[in-house]
Amino acid sequence: MLLLLLLCVSVVAASALAAPAPGTSGKGRGAARERPDAPNVVLVVSDSFDGRLTFYPGSQVVKLPFINFMKAHGTSFLNAYTNSPICCPSRAAMWSGLFTHLTESWNNFKGLDPNYTTWMDIMEKHGYKTQKFGKLDYTSGHHSISNRVEAWTRDVPFLLRQEGRPMVNLIPNKTKGRVMERDWETTDTAVNWLRKEAVNHTQPFVLYLGLNLPHPYPSPSSGENFGSSTFHTSLYWLKKVSYDAIKIPNWSPLSEMHPIDYYSSYTKNCTGKFTEREIKNIRAFYYSMCAETDAMLGEIILALRQLDLLEKTIVIYTSDHGELAMEHRQFYKMSMYEASAHVPLLIMGPGIEANLQVSDVVSLVDIYPTMLDIAGIPLPQNLSGYSLLPLSSEMFENKYKLKNLHPPWILSEFHGCNVNASTYMLRTNQWKYIAYSDGASVSPQLFDISSDPDELTNIATKFPKITYSLDQKLRSIINYPKVSASVHQYNKEQFIKWKQSVGQNYSNVIANLRWHQDWLKEPRKYESAIDQWLKTHTPAKTGLAQW
């Protein structure tokens, strides 16, 4: 039945390629068009989806029929990246079109102002019917008090486990397809909206669907596995994974790890011993969760087909960040390594080139101008991103030749928990340069992605001229030592406010956060380290407007 439906969708999608391209019915780029002629837009954003799975060889590990369908009938961006590898800051960039240091979304509990004007707000003002369902998280993401304190105190010179050891949990049911019930309910709601509302609109619509999968499941609040994150699936999805094709990642010895990586691995409770079977199971379960995510994307595509909306609708699929799944001795994200920072980005619909693979580096801030460009709405001048339409169609490439082209680099930055220094990545077609803190106190990393895709060899000292050149380029984009100092000051100020808010209960509360098993062994030692950190002189806080 699925193959038959996919075949039907293929026929319709092929005809959609002959439909007028976005923007062609206006009087040039950004011209307001007649609303009935404008394409609908559907944006599906999942969580924690490793973008490398959308192309070879990653796609050989797990069956992703609807992602493969989008690849065949649309444009795949092979080098798409998050602008911050954690939920809220990443989504703040996506919804604002601005880099993280401009939104000042430093962590999972500091995002955009709730009244911020997003691309969806602008599209609504220009005649689009808008609807959003599911995970948004661009004003604030999932977090606990422990998350907050861990982020604020990351510069304190101590090592404490902040996570439980990652684990797997299998539902031994070969027919259990709806494992993440909440996501399925959200997907059903979006499909029902398409059937009951969107199909009857005379104006074009834009629909957003946010999914939690394939993010690991929340940690248990008590018991033996307190604080652990769970990769959870059923036999139904596990059979979609080619177990033999799963790669066991190479790890550097603990003594040879970059100091930032070691801190991250330790706080994520991954410095202990893991058997090869444990690692392979975590990866297999993660891929199974990706397969379930693909099926939800498929529900949207099939509904558009059944309602005769597919040929009138541009569909975009992406994710807020990836998932390390035990690469570099880590799980979760909060890293600039490919598994964490590389996201899927696929676009299909009228005017979008079919079976096109784009190798140019792009990032999630490009979503904002792309959405407006699809609708023919003039683009604001202050955006960090660029429309992806010139890269996804020869018509647009010729139309925009010599202007408004995407630069040959992207910027990603991270300022939250599990990493004890602000982190900045400049990615070009060949190089990945990662700088930390003030650029001097922590050594940088340089990887040649073309020859070292697993990022196992830091060649920053081997190629000092390239390292210097990339660092200068990074500094021309962002004054990162100044940003790091501002975040450092922000962390101290927020921690002091929190400490004052708990009053006399401070010692008891801080001793019983997620790190309690380590903390309670030497509570005075760690509390004293925080006191000393708070006394250390910090530069006065300065505004970010000039950055």
pLDDT of the residue at 49? 98
Residue 6, pLDDT > 60, answer: no
315: exposed, middle or buried (Cβ count in 10 Å: 0-12, 13-18, 19+): buried
Instruction: Tell me if 303 is assigned to some domain.
Output: yes
pLDDT of the residue at 201? 86
Buried b (16+ CB within 10 A) or exposed e, 235-264: ebbbebbeeeebeebebbeeeebbebbbbb
pLDDT of the residue at 393? 80
Residue 295 to residue 67: CA distance in whole angstroms: 9
Instruction: Tell me if 243 is assigned to some domain.
Output: yes
pLDDT tens profile 396-420 = 555 555 456 899 999 999 999 999 9
**Mean pLDDT confidence for 344-362:** 97
Residue 223 to residue 367: CA distance in whole angstroms: 42
How many domains is the chain built from?
A: 1
Instruction: Tell me if 30 is assigned to some domain.
Output: no
pLDDT tens profile 285-318 = 999 999 999 999 999 999 999 999 999 999 999 9
Instruction: Tell me if 541 is assigned to some domain.
Output: no
Residue 501 to residue 521: CA distance in whole angstroms: 25
H-state helical runs in 359-421: 367-375, 389-392, 394-399
**Mean pLDDT confidence for 218-243:** 82
Residue 538, pLDDT > 80, answer: no
Residue 87 to residue 142: CA distance in whole angstroms: 8
| Least confident window among 73-82, 435-444, 470-479, 538-547 | 538-547
- Using a pLDDT cut of 90, give the percent of the chain over it: 81
pLDDT of the residue at 22? 54
Which residue from 144, 229, 206 is spatially nearest to 349, judged by alpha carbons? Answer: 206
431: enclosing H helix or E strand: strand 431-436
pLDDT of the residue at 16? 41
> Do 243 and 280 touch, CB atoms closer than 8 A?
yes
Residue 231, pLDDT > 50, answer: yes
Write the DSSP symbol of residue 437: T
pLDDT of the residue at 401? 52
Instruction: Kindly report the average pLDDT of the chain as a whole number.
Output: 90
- 546: pLDDT confidence band, cut at 50, 70 and 90? very low
| Residue 87 annotated among the catalytic residues of the structure | yes
Instruction: Tell me if 247 is assigned to some domain.
Output: yes
**Mean pLDDT confidence for 522-546:** 74
pLDDT of the residue at 394? 65
pLDDT of the residue at 360? 96
Q: Tell me the longest C-alpha to C-alpha distance in the chain.
A: 70
pLDDT of the residue at 399? 55
**Mean pLDDT confidence for 4-28:** 43
| Least confident window among 5-9, 296-300, 359-363 | 5-9
User: Hey, how many other C-beta atoms are within 10 angstroms of the C-beta on 7?
Assistant: 9
Residue 464, pLDDT > 50, answer: yes
Instruction: Tell me if 252 is assigned to some domain.
Output: yes
Residue 227, pLDDT > 70, answer: no
- 7: pLDDT confidence band, cut at 50, 70 and 90? very low
Residue 8, pLDDT > 80, answer: no
Instruction: Tell me if 307 is assigned to some domain.
Output: yes
**Mean pLDDT confidence for 231-251:** 97
**Mean pLDDT confidence for 239-255:** 95
Residue 259, pLDDT > 70, answer: yes
**Mean pLDDT confidence for 237-241:** 98
Write the DSSP symbol of residue 524: H
Residue 390 to residue 199: CA distance in whole angstroms: 29
> Do 297 and 67 touch, CB atoms closer than 8 A?
yes
Residue 225, pLDDT > 80, answer: no
490: enclosing H helix or E strand: helix 480-502
Residue 18, pLDDT > 50, answer: no
Residue 102, pLDDT > 60, answer: yes
pLDDT of the residue at 33? 41
Residue 443, pLDDT > 70, answer: yes
Residue 104, pLDDT > 90, answer: yes
pLDDT of the residue at 4? 45
Residue 322, pLDDT > 70, answer: yes
Residue 124, pLDDT > 50, answer: yes
Name the residue with higher pLDDT: 408 or 393: 408
**Mean pLDDT confidence for 125-136:** 96
Domain encompassing residue 143: 40-407
Measured over the CA atoms of residue 223, residue 229, residue 232 and residue 238, the dihedral's sign is negative
pLDDT of the residue at 56? 79
User: Hey, how many other C-beta atoms are within 10 angstroms of the C-beta on 302?
Assistant: 18
Residue 107 to residue 118: CA distance in whole angstroms: 19
Residue 36, pLDDT > 50, answer: yes
290: enclosing H helix or E strand: helix 276-306
Instruction: Tell me if 515 is assigned to some domain.
Output: no
**Which of 8, 87, 88, 417 is labelled catalytic?**
87
Residue 542, pLDDT > 90, answer: no
pLDDT of the residue at 531? 96
Domain of 82, CATH number, reads 3.40.720.10
**Mean pLDDT confidence for 248-270:** 96
Residue 398 to residue 473: CA distance in whole angstroms: 29
- Using a pLDDT cut of 70, give the percent of the chain over it: 88
Task: Return the ∠ at Cα 144 (arms to 139 and 150), rounded to 5°.
Answer: 100
Q: Packing angle between helix 2-16 and helix 276-306, nearest 10 degrees?
A: 60
